[in-house]
C-alpha cells in the first residue's frame, strides 16, 4: 500500500481493501459477501438509476488513545436507514444485519483507520439501491445493500473555528411533505446549485429556510442547526430536515450540562438573538457559525462577535469528541468497541 499521509487527508475517496454486500431477492436478505471490487454490475433499468430508489448513511470509526476502535451510535444509523426505506418503499435492512456489516467492513479495513492524533477517521458509507429492472414507476423487487469505507481528514484543518453561511431562497432542498427527512440522493442533487452559489460567493455553506413560508430555519447545507441563548439549546422542528444523530446526541449532552433543550420553529429574525450557533453533523460534529447573511434581504446576523467559537459550543464539542475517543465514559451507551 502506498503510504497514506494521514495528517493531510481531505474528505475524498481513497480505495480500501474490501467492501461488504448483501442482496435482497425473493423477499429476503441473503448472506453477507466480502468483495474487493469497487464496481457494481447493474441492470440499465435498475430503479436506483431512474426513479431514485437510493438511500445512504454516513458514520465514522475512530482509532482511540487506548488503541481500540470505536463506532458511534451505529444502531441509530440503522434505524434512520429503516425510516428512509419506509419513505421510498425499499425493504428495511434489519438493525442486526446493518451493525454486523458495519463491524465487519471496519475490521476488514483496519489498516486504513487513521491513527489517533492525526484528526482523521474512517468514514463509513452504507448504500442501499434498487437493482431490479422496472420501466414503469414502481418499487424494485431486488436490492443491493453495500458498505464501503474510506479514510477522511479532519473537518477543521486549522483547529475548531467559525464559518460563515448564507441564506439562499432561490432553491428549496426539500418540500415540507417531501423526502427531506430521509437520506436519499435526490435531496443532495436538489442542494447542489444552492451549495455552489454559496461557495462561489465565498461562504462555507448554504443555509435553508422552510420551503413553504421561507420564514423558519431548516438546515445548514448537510448539517442541522442549533442556537444557544439564555441557557437554552434551541434547534428547529421541521418535517423537511434530516434527523441528525449528532444533533440528538448534542441535545442530550446539553441537558447533561444543565441547559434546557427546545425543539421548535425558529424564525429567521431570531438569529439576531443567539449568543452562539452551530451546524452539526458527522463530518464536523459542530461547525460553529460566525455570521449568517441573507442574500436577498441583505440582512446580516453576526453571531460570533469576536469571530471565535463560543464557550457552550466548545464544551459540547469537547465532550462529544471525548466520548467518541473513549476519553470520557460513555454514560448513554452510544459506543460500540471493536475487538
Ligand atoms: C442533510 C443533512 N442534515 C444533517 C446531517 C447530519 O446528520 P448526522 O449527525 O446524523 O451526521 C447530514 C449528514 O448526515 C445531512 O446530510
Pocket test of ligand 1: the residue of 83, 244, 252, 253 to mutate, having most ligand atoms within 8 Å of its CB, is 244
Nearest to 319 by CA among 263, 250, 259, 226: 250
Q: Is 279 in the pocket of ligand 1 (CB under 6 A)?
A: no
> Closest ligand 1 atom to the C-alpha of 77?
10
pLDDT score for 244 = 98
Residues of the chain with pLDDT under 50: none
Helices (H), 218-278: 245-256
Residue 188: CA count within 13 A, CB half-sphere:
11
Taking alpha carbons only, the member of 338, 331, 324 closest to residue 285 is 324
List the Cα angle 322/113/283 in 5-degree steps. Answer: 55
Beta bridge partners of 276: 228
Pocket probe mutation, ligand 1, options 223, 246, 279, max atoms within 8 Å of Cβ: 223
Q: What are phi and psi of 105, to 5 degrees?
A: -70, -30
Ligand 1, atom 5, residue with closest C-alpha: 223
Hey, what's the torsion of the CAs at 193, 288, 113, 98, to 10 degrees? -70
Q: How far is the CA of 124 from the centre of ligand 1 (A)?
A: 13
Q: Is the CB of 223 under 6 A from ligand 1?
A: yes
Query: Among 54, 58, 180, which is best to mutate for testing ligand 1, by the most ligand atoms less than 8 A from CB?
Result: 58
CA-closest residue to ligand 1 atom 2: 222
Mutate to test the pocket of ligand 1, among 179, 282, 286, 287 (most ligand atoms within 8 A of CB): 282
Ligand 1 atom at minimal distance to the Cα of residue 224: 4
Confirm or reject: Cβ of 245 under 6 Å from ligand 1. Answer: yes
Q: How high is the pLDDT of residue 339?
A: 77
- In SS3 terms, 139-184 reads as CCCCEEEEEEEEEECCCCCCCCCCEEEEECCCCCCCCCCCCCCCCE
Report the C-alpha gap between 235 and 255 in whole angstroms: 13
Nearest-angstrom CA–CA distance, 206 and 172: 11
246 pocket-lining for ligand 1 (C-beta < 6 Å): yes
- According to DSSP, residue 233 is labeled E
Tell me the pLDDT tens digit for each residue of 239-284: 999 999 999 999 999 999 999 999 999 999 999 999 999 999 999 8
CA of 284 to the centre of ligand 1 (A): 10
Beta carbons within 10 angstroms of residue 56's beta carbon = 16
Distance 10 CA to ligand 1 centre (A): 19
The pLDDT value recorded for residue 58 is 98
What is the pLDDT, as a whole number, of residue 1?
Answer: 61
242 and 203 Cβ atoms separated by less than 8 Å: no
Point out the ligand 1 atom lying closest to the alpha carbon of residue 58.
14
Q: Whole-model pTM?
A: 0.97
In this prediction, residue 158 carries a pLDDT of: 74
Residue 252: its pLDDT value, please? Answer: 98
- Phi, psi angle pair for 278, to nearest 5°: -155, 160
- Of all protein residues, whose CA lies closest to atom 7 belonging to ligand 1? 244
Instruction: Look at residue 156 in the predicted model and tell me its pLDDT.
Output: 79
Atom of ligand 1 nearest to the CA of 80: 10
Amino acid at each position: 500500500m502506498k503510504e497514506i499521509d494521514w495528517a493531510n487527508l481531505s474528505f475524498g475517496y481513497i480505495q480500501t481493501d474490501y467492501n461488504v454486500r448483501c442482496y435482497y431477492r425473493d423477499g429476503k436478505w441473503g448472506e453477507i459477501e466480502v468483495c474487493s471490487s469497487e464496481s457494481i454490475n447493474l441492470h440499465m433499468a435498475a430503479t436506483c438509476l431512474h426513479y431514485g430508489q437510493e438511500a445512504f448513511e454516513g458514520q465514522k470509526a475512530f482509532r482511540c488513545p487506548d488503541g481500540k476502535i470505536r463506532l458511534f451510535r451505529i444502531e441509530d444509523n440503522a434505524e434512520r436507514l429503516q425510516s428512509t426505506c419506509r419513505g421510498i418503499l425499499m425493504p428495511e435492512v434489519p438493525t442486526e444485519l446493518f451493525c454486523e456489516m458495519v463491524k465487519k467492513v471496519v475490521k476488514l479495513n483496519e489498516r486504513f483507520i487513521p491513527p489517533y492524533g492525526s484528526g482523521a477517521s474512517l468514514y463509513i458509507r452504507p448504500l442501499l439501491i434498487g437493482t431490479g429492472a422496472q420501466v414503469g414507476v414502481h418499487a424494485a423487487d431486488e436490492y443491493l445493500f453495500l458498505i464501503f469505507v474510506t479514510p477522511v481528514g479532519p473537518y477543521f484543518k486549522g483547529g475548531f473555528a467559525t464559518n460563515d453561511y448564507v441564506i439562499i431562497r432561490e432553491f428549496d432542498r426539500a418540500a415540507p411533505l417531501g423526502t427531506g427527512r430521509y437520506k436519499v440522493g435526490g435531496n443532495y442533487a436538489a442542494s447542489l446549485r444552492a451549495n455552489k452559489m454559496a461557495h462561489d460567493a465565498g461562504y462555507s455553506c448554504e443555509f435553508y429556510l422552510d420551503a413553504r413560508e421561507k420564514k423558519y430555519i431548516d438546515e445548514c447545507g448537510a448539517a442541522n442547526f442549533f442556537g444557544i441563548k439564555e441557557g437554552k439549546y434551541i434547534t428547529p422542528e421541521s418535517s423537511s430536515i434530516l434527523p441528525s444523530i449528532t444533533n440528538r446526541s448534542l441535545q442530550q449532552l446539553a441537558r447533561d450540562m444543565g441547559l434546557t433543550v427546545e425543539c421548535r420553529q425558529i424564525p429567521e429574525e431570531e438569529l439576531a438573538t443567539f449568543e452562539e450557533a452551530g451546524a452539526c453533523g458527522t463530518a464536523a460534529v459542530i461547525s460553529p457559525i460566525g455570521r449568517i447573511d441573507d442574500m436577498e434581504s441583505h440582512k446580516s446576523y453576526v453571531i460570533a462577535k469576536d469571530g471565535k467559537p463560543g464557550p457552550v459550543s466548545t464544551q459540547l464539542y469537547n465532550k462529544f469528541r471525548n466520548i467518541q475517543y473513549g476519553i470520557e465514559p460513555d454514560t448513554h451507551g452510544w459506543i460500540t468497541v471493536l475487538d
